[in-house]
Amino acid sequence: MADDGAPVMIVETDPDLASFHLLEEWLYELNVKITGITDGKLLSIFLRKPDGAVIGGTHGWTWAGRCYVRLLYVPPDLRGRGCGTRLMQAVEQEARARGCHEIVLHTHVFQAPEFYRKLGFTVSGRQEFPRGHQFFEMVKVLRSADASAGRGAA
């Protein structure tokens, strides 16, 4: 068969990160072109051993006044010791510094939605996934310091 220049689709189960980042970059550029909003930034906060090895953390991004937490992982031996809370507090602090008005995340029923509820998140969407379990979209509205102190506009 002759090479006619048509793209070839290849299913990859372990894509290289550079190719993955290209897709993200192209989609971000499209979003900017359509919306004119150029404030997108990645947001990663890591838990590291003294030697610098990553043992946990959080990753997501901010864009258009929203912070999206894509991943949060605390190793089992550090759970229940405040690491997850401190990570999410750091996310919130950075989201506020970037002018975000809300934080959004997705979690499963077996991934501690009660942890997020205690931090002020509410369920904004729910699906049955995987079978026999629930998948939640959760959101936390970030109020300004003035509004939370009762000095905000009515």
Condensed to tens digits (0 to 9), the pLDDT of residues 103-146 reads 999 999 999 999 999 999 999 999 999 999 999 999 999 987 55
For 60-66, what is the mean pLDDT?
97
Distances in Å between the Cα of 81 and the Cα atoms of 51, 55, 76, 77, 84 are: 21, 15, 10, 9, 8
Displacement of CA 44 from its chain's centroid (Å): 9
**pLDDT score of 150 more than 80:** no
For 4-16, what is the mean pLDDT?
92
- Report the pLDDT value the prediction gives residue 154, as an integer from 0 to 100: 39
Return contacts of 121-127, CB within 8 angstroms, 24+ apart. Answer: none
Q: Sheet of 66-73: strands edge to edge? A: 41-48, 54-63, 66-73, 102-108, 134-141, 122-128
N residues, the chain: 154
For 13-41, what is the mean pLDDT?
95
Q: What does residue 28 show for φ and ψ, rounded to 5 degrees? A: -60, -45
pLDDT confidence band for 153 (50 / 70 / 90):
very low
Q: State pTM to two decimals.
A: 0.85
**pLDDT score of 73 more than 90:** yes
pLDDT confidence band for 2 (50 / 70 / 90):
low
CB 135 within 8 A of CB 129: yes
**pLDDT score of 92 more than 70:** yes
Report the sign of the C-alpha dihedral through residues 11, 27, 59, 134, in that order: negative
Fold of 40-144: Aminopeptidase (3.40.630)
